[in-house]
Amino acid sequence: MTLYEHVPHPHLEARKDVGPVKVEDHAPRHSAYARFNSRVGLKVTLAVGTMTCAWVFTALALISLPSAIESKNLIVIVSWIAQTLIQLVLLSIILFGQSLQSQASDARSEATWKDAEAILDSARQIAEHLTVQDRHLLAQDDRLDAIADRSAALADQLAALAVRLSPPAV
């Protein structure tokens, strides 16, 4: 018997099998078409979301810059900036930045997972420690009860002895 019975939360066992959440865990897998789209989308995003691709797109965009400037047409120049430079180059830069943020997020998730595992292990050890302390306290209670019982018996014996040794009343 213990003074406290630790009951682990059912989620703790389930989380051991799952591991930390990763981006790839959320890719659709319900059909061959969905799996294909996920693979193609991921590969294109990884290819376009690099600074190398951003520099290639910048060079490609700069090829048409002289023609836009030569036209001396404000609409053509604004169109080149908006449709060529911003859409083409910033797409890769934004994807690259999001990739870095995703990697950092995954690393934070992994670190949080490890922290939670360490905290859960510490809590388990604390529960085990409390169980040992409970056993020790209960054993002390049993010893104190025995001492109290012996003390009461000795007190009764002393009272009986005092009655026998006391002089008779006159």
- How confident is the prediction along the chain (170 residues), in pLDDT tens digits per residue? 667 777 777 777 777 777 777 767 777 788 899 889 888 888 888 888 889 999 999 999 999 999 999 999 999 999 999 988 888 888 889 988 888 888 888 888 888 888 888 898 888 889 889 889 999 999 999 999 999 999 999 999 999 998 888 888 77
pLDDT for 9: 77
* Measured distance CA(87)–CA(66) in Å, rounded: 18
Decide if 56 contacts 40 (C-beta within 8 A).
Answer: no
Q: Which amino acid is at 169?
A: A
Q: How far is CA 17 from CA 12, 14, 41, 112, in A?
A: 9, 6, 28, 16
Decide if 23 contacts 102 (C-beta within 8 A).
Answer: yes
pLDDT for 27: 75
DSSP label of 63: H
Tokens of 98: 């999001």
- CA 122 vs. chain centroid, Å, equals 15
Q: What is the pTM of this model?
A: 0.55
Tokens of 72: 């001396």
